[in-house]
Amino acid sequence: MLVLVAPGQGAQTPGFLTEWLDLPGAADRVAGWSDAIGLDLVHFGTKADADEIRDTSVAQPLLVAAGLLSAAALGDIPGFAPGVVAGHSVGEITAAAFADVLDDTAALTLVRRRGLAMAEAAAVTETGMSALLGGDPEVSVAHLEKLGLTPANVNGAGQIVAAGTMDQLAALSDDKPEGVRKVVPLKVAGAFHTHHMAPAVDKLAEAAKSLTPADPKVTYVSNKDGRAVASGTEVLERLVGQVANPVRWDRCMETFKELGVTALIEVCPGGTLTGLAKRALPGVKTLALKSPADLDAARELVAEHTQA
């Protein structure tokens, strides 16, 4: 069984959309999305620098657009039919589109409002996120709480992401939990999935009222608890609440294992979730879509692992 996953904020790099726009119809599709949400996705995906695409209000719709565009290319592969979909943080909106809970335009409209609301919430206090590599999760979580930080992403494979004020993150860098090899600041502009994002929840809830979600057409696995969610209404409710609550990617991967997943494809800009899967899901074949050149490998993987 194949699982299709979408990465979260921080995976973006300057120019990462450029080669994808050379695919037939891709440039027109992205231009249409840009018009629909009032954001020049083509510019930001091809010409903008790292600081410009670090902006939450830009990064989030750009990531969803890239995921949808690369997934559309996968859709041209004969037999492509993932049995499971999931996304990390903002990638959950991409996954909701994969599962036909939302159409592409609705997903991009929602993520545009999400990015703006979270950017506004992040502007109140200078906050950020840092990844802890290695160590015992229970020891790390206790240490983070002592410093006033939140374990915002529990990613599995020995990785936890801490979120809080810049002063709190500086203290963490100077005082790592026992067993943690390294603390790596992330390319995000706020303490996402913490109480700092509470103001964004109400705005996103208001935006969600205009949407009519459908029930997922494939198994949709939620960040909240790693549970498969069969109701489109519940998927949307979880998308709203997750901006101020921790991501449990570790539990998502446990569910992949329970469901019998044998292969994982991470849409553009792939790499982060593939790396976690390689460590946490031994025996599962993985592929990160970084450019259209990876589509040949995707064809091979689909032929081996997709079930009708």
Given a contact cutoff of 8 angstroms between Cβ atoms, the answer to whether 284 and 264 are in contact is: yes
> pLDDT at position 143, please?
96
Among the options 143, 193, 196, 305, which is catalytic? 193
Residue 306, pLDDT score: 62
Asked if 143 is an active-site residue, the reply is no
Q: Which helix (H) or strand (E) holds 257?
A: helix 249-259
Which superfamily does 2-122+194-305 belong to?
Malonyl-Coenzyme A Acyl Carrier Protein, domain 2 (3.40.366.10)
The domains spanning 2-122+194-305 and 127-185 adopt the same CATH topology: no
Please tell me which residue in 57, 89, 130, 140 is annotated as part of the active site. Answer: 89
Every domain of the chain and the residues it spans:
2-122+194-305, 127-185
Among left, alpha and beta (phi > 0; psi -120 to 50; other), residue 125 is: beta
* 10-residue averages of pLDDT along the chain (308 residues): 94 96 96 97 97 94 98 93 96 98 97 95 93 91 95 90 96 94 88 94 95 97 97 98 95 97 97 95 96 96 75
User: Which class in CATH covers the domain with range 127-185?
Assistant: alpha beta
Decide: helix, strand or coil at residue 182. Answer: strand
**Quick one: pLDDT at residue 308?**
41
89 assigned to active site: yes
